Structure 1
Amino acid sequence: MPLLGKLIKKSIDVANELFEEDKNPVEAQSEALRNLLESAKNTDFGRRYQFNEILKSEDVAKSFRVSVPCFDYHRMFGEWWHKTVEGIPDVTWPGSPEYFALSSGTTGSKSKRIPVTKEMIEAIRSTGIKQVMSLSDYDLPDEFFQKGILMLGSSTELEERNGHLEGEISGISASNIPFWFKGYYKPGEEIAKIQDWDERVQRIAEQAPNWDIGALSGIPSWIELMLKKVIEHNNLKNIHEIWPSLSVFTTGGVPFEPHQESFEKLLDHPLLYLDTYLASEGFIALQVRPNEDMSMQLAYDGGIYFEFIPFQPEYFDENGAPFEDAPALSLAQVEEGNEYAMLISTVSGAWRYSIGDTIKFTNKEKAEIKITGRTKFFLNVVGSQLSVNKMTDAIQKLEEEYKMSISEFTVAAVKHDGEFYHQWVIGSGNESNTDEEALARTLDEALKNVNKNYGVARSKALKGVKLKLASPETFYDWAEQTKKKGGQIKIPQMMSESEMKAFLEFIS
């Protein structure tokens, strides 16, 4: 085996042993909170909420929770971050950030601007290195560790605005990769700067024969489209014909399970799949050890302090924002199996900030989680309380029963003749020869089996299920029309009624 690969793998093994000496997650979180408060105590925000006094209290976590209200993006921006965007320093974090991450979430709304400080860049980089180090726990050949890593994110060509740079978080992160990593990083700086997604993918397809790729990283739907383009352009049967060393796919952004079947049709053999949770607000969690359900470990020592609100309807408004009196728990207080919405406080000056995602703990001792959905979901208007993970379970039932591959789906609660229905659109390559009404009945029964609240709603306010089949490409064309293609763009798995009506018009 190549000597270089052995040396790199040995270095990773040694570094990983050092990472394994990390503190207990609960202790690390307590230290993280103190460090955050100490760093920001002289900012406008720190003086307003008396961080100095909080640091003197016997129970810092409790005092912080009582003294500082919850914020969602709109409140944080309206009261504080708009000053940061205008160039005023020391608002919620010392100094002024060099970057702002642009994020429209999954709704296609006007881009949010989220500060990204130098401390956050370093935290993201350290957490990313930790995931690379964890690869020593997997049965990978020595030569893997000298192969290229193709990261398909947003453009690294950032826009200058009022003295700072703006772009999506994947583009900001890729533009700040360590110097020693640049030899492994693909598609390289020149291609990564191309703004147009189709043009960037075309250049990747053209250069693909010159690369020896061992790992992929990106959102599943866009990685899949990229692989199809490489295969088509180079007249291949599968991607392993051109990249025989391809062994790892680091996924993230959306659940991978609905994409796995169609994804593996592009391969000669399955890959090692690792999950990540990189948001515009920071690197939230990463998979650090082999496990069957792809559980991720919270980045508890990555410049973020976490709190957890039990995900119950009485604690959130209709937009998914937590109420002022919603109870928030520390990492020490959570329980495995329960569903929580997360609040984060970060080295970019987010404070008790509702990130909008829901999670459940799969291993509290190791601080490992699975993402279950979003706090802002529209299907609760009739009490169905459907989360993304329950919908994914039902979608997998359809795949098994009808021998079909479903790579995209979305759903909304809509009204017909005064009655509520759940309108589904399913993206599948089988759309031309499958009975939509039969699919709707099977989906309805599967949802009743996985969610008792859904069953109750179906017996009362929820009249029925309507289902429309479309090709997966229709979803991507819709994304291109309403937002843009590729990068960090996620296909929304839940829509509002107006969004669904617009999408159905687009399909027809």
Structure 2
Amino acid sequence: MDFKTQLVYQAAKLRLRKIERYTAEAEDLQRAQLRHILSRARGTELGERYDLGRATDYRDFAQRLPLVEYDAVKGDIERMIQGERNVLIPGGCRWYAKSSGTTSDRSKYIPVPYLHLQDCHYRGGSDALWIYLRNYPDSRFFSTKGLVLGGSHSPMSLGSQASVGDLSAILVEHMPLLGNWLRVPRRETLLMSEWNAKMSAIVREVAQAPVGSLSGVPSWMLVLLRQLLEYTGAGDISELWPQLEVFFHGGISFSPYRSIYHELIPSPRMRYEETYNASEGFFAIQDDPSESGMLLMLDYGVFYEFIPMDELEYSAEGSVAEHVRAIPLWEVEQDRDYALVITTLGGLYRYLIGDTVRFTSTAPYRIVITGRTKHFINAFGEELMVTNTDTAIARTTERTGVQVAEYTVAPHFLLDEGKGYHDWLIEFVQPPSDLAAYARILDEELRRANSDYDAKRYEDMTLLPLQLEPAPAGLFHRWLEEQGKLGGQHKVPRLSSSRHYLEELLELKQRLSNSSPEL
């Protein structure tokens, strides 16, 4: 390490020793988080509603509180936004993160009280850096600048009592002094609301900066890097920023983008570090480059529970069925898919965040994100999840050299035959010369990645070969723009059992084709 990085790193060693105790002390750490959260919740309306003062252990807590999604807590959050105090947390809450984990028209406002911001979100960002520096002692991190690409909305007032913004905008608003010193672009640029204007401003501001690290969502960072190459005329990003060494990424799977980034940043010392940071909290960090999965962070004021995906059911009203049971961390099994449930210092209790995870290790606890509880396809018993399609895309890229920018998938039913197939809409970096051959290889890789898909594809008995349609460049971004969700952490659902998203994209493709026949 250079002198500056080594100096700052000295302060991290005590924290790293605590993280190293995760393996031996996981259950004790999680029980301590629950006790801390409950001690603060007892004086709130929610605490009185469920008599949390009598909750003495995990089993008692789980029996008293139901499993919930956003609709169940929306009313309490709206009261907090109006200034009511002691509803879900002690006192009030000024800041709310506008959730970007969905592309529905309904906005979700997630409370971000200052305690949760510090103990969870900022601690997660710091720990990601300390773990990276531990793994790569040749880093010169603090002798360079860090390019942060955040959300598309600067914080806005929700009235006299509250403000709302993308989580990334809230983090920028409260960023500690060290982070402000390292970061580019300027705060004013990052908080610009109009996404296209902001991207242009960032390009102009950072083109000559000594950038050594990147932080953001892979899809949007890719857009920025390409604009930078066009603006500067550089051959690749390593030529533009020879000191660039790491990309801290999250929000979506990196697998489909890996080959594109390796082409744009050919430096052999470039590293890619995955983090799991959502509006509701910072949950996991890639801690060992030789292991798959991210280390679940156990002392961030978050208590974790997990619902086996094959046991998750919903009532007729759309809420989680009463008989569904969640389990604590110390009861999970490796290589099984779970819906993630969190209880936090931020005022969420037994809350289904909407993500599904799988444990790649239980000593320590490491996870991979496998998809969304409502964004998967099981129309024909194939149980296809995002982790399967991302893996298949990556393997198909390895075999064909064809890179994918964006994609979405939906089922197509042939009711008279009792069969069906999957419709794929793919935006390629460069379309394959033989689309049918690409589709055939992709289907092969899906069968490799998912045994249920393979079984349903056997001799076309239930599931026919996938159908693939190429999308014109920019189609997915144009769709997000029309939804008012361009930029930042927003993304198109990869998989859906409904054809809603796919049909809207196909309709947009047709409109663009009619206005520009060359498409």
TM-score, with structure 1 as normaliser: 0.92
Residue identity matched to 1:350: L
Give the distance between the partners of 1:450 and 1:225, measured in 2 at CA.
29
CA contact (8 A) 1:322 1:354 kept: no
Give the distance between the partners of 1:353 and 1:187, measured in 2 at CA.
35
Task: Report the Cα offset of residue 464 of structure 1.
Answer: 4.3
Q: CA RMSD in A?
A: 2.3
The answer to whether residue 93 in structure 2 is matched with residue 93 in structure 1 is: no
The answer to whether residue 139 in structure 2 is matched with residue 145 in structure 1 is: no
State the partner residue of 1:231: 229
Task: Report the Cα offset of residue 19 of structure 1.
Answer: 4.8
1:403-440 Cα shifts (integer Å, max 9, x gaps): 211232210123356553311112212326232x3333
State the partner residue of 1:125: 122
Task: Report the Cα offset of residue 208 of structure 1.
Answer: 2.2
Question: What residue ranges of structure 1 are gaps of 5+ in the alignment?
Answer: none
Give secondary structure in 2 for the equivalent of 1:253.
coil
Task: Report the Cα offset of residue 94 of structure 1.
Answer: 1.2
State the partner residue of 2:80: 84
The answer to whether residue 203 in structure 2 is matched with residue 205 in structure 1 is: yes
State the partner residue of 2:215: 217
Give the distance between the partners of 1:305 and 1:54, measured in 2 at CA.
15
Give secondary structure in 2 for the equivalent of 1:439.
helix
Deviates more, 1:485-494 or 1:218-227: 485-494
Residue identity matched to 1:49: Y
CA contact (8 A) 1:156 1:192 kept: no
Task: Report the Cα offset of residue 7 of structure 1.
Answer: 2.3
1:349-388 alignment, distance < 5 Å: 349-388=347-386
1:126-150 Cα shifts (integer Å, max 9, x gaps): 2211112112222243533321111
Give the distance between the partners of 1:181 and 1:441, measured in 2 at CA.
47
CA contact (8 A) 2:97 2:109 kept: yes
Residue identity matched to 2:206: A
Question: What residue ranges of structure 2 are gaps of 5+ in the alignment?
Answer: 511-519
State the partner residue of 1:501: 503
State the partner residue of 1:109: 105
Distance 1:3 1:438, change over 3 A: closer
CA contact (8 A) 1:429 1:471 kept: no
State the partner residue of 1:261: 259
Give secondary structure in 1 for the equivalent of 2:55.
helix
Give secondary structure in 2 for the equivalent of 1:301.
coil
Task: Report the Cα offset of residue 288 of structure 1.
Answer: 2.9
1:96-153 Cα shifts (integer Å, max 9, x gaps): 2111111242333221111111111112112211112112222243533321111101
CA contact (8 A) 1:409 1:424 kept: yes
Give the distance between the partners of 1:317 and 1:359, measured in 2 at CA.
23
Task: Report the Cα offset of residue 15 of structure 1.
Answer: 5.1
Residue identity matched to 1:114: I
Give the distance between the partners of 2:86 and 2:14, measured in 1 at CA.
39
Task: Report the Cα offset of residue 13 of structure 1.
Answer: 4.5
Residue identity matched to 1:128: G
Give secondary structure in 1 for the equivalent of 2:349.
coil
Give the distance between the partners of 1:144 and 1:318, measured in 2 at CA.
52
State the partner residue of 1:390: 388
Task: Report the Cα offset of residue 84 of structure 1.
Answer: 1.9
Identical-residue share of aligned pairs (%) = 31
Residue identity matched to 2:279: S
Deviates more, 1:362-371 or 1:310-319: 310-319
Residue identity matched to 1:507: K
State the partner residue of 2:428: 428
Distance 1:319 1:170, change over 3 A: farther
Give the distance between the partners of 1:451 and 1:155, measured in 2 at CA.
36
CA contact (8 A) 1:413 1:423 kept: yes
Give the distance between the partners of 1:462 and 1:472, measured in 2 at CA.
29
State the partner residue of 2:169: 171
Task: Report the Cα offset of residue 87 of structure 1.
Answer: 2.2
Distance 1:110 1:13, change over 3 A: same
Task: Report the Cα offset of residue 3 of structure 1.
Answer: 3.5
Give the distance between the partners of 2:9 and 2:302, measured in 1 at CA.
29
CA contact (8 A) 2:475 2:505 kept: no
Give secondary structure in 1 for the equivalent of 2:346.
coil
CA contact (8 A) 1:409 1:426 kept: yes
The answer to whether residue 444 in structure 2 is matched with residue 445 in structure 1 is: yes
1:295-444 alignment, distance < 5 Å: 295-312=293-310, 315-316=313-314, 322-415=320-413, 420-431=420-431, 433-435=433-435, 437-444=436-443
Task: Report the Cα offset of residue 463 of structure 1.
Answer: 4.4
Give the distance between the partners of 1:319 and 1:432, measured in 2 at CA.
45
CA contact (8 A) 2:152 2:192 kept: yes
Give secondary structure in 2 for the equivalent of 1:107.
coil
Task: Report the Cα offset of residue 466 of structure 1.
Answer: 1.5
Give secondary structure in 2 for the equivalent of 1:182.
helix
Give secondary structure in 2 for the equivalent of 1:354.
strand
TM-score, with structure 2 as normaliser: 0.91
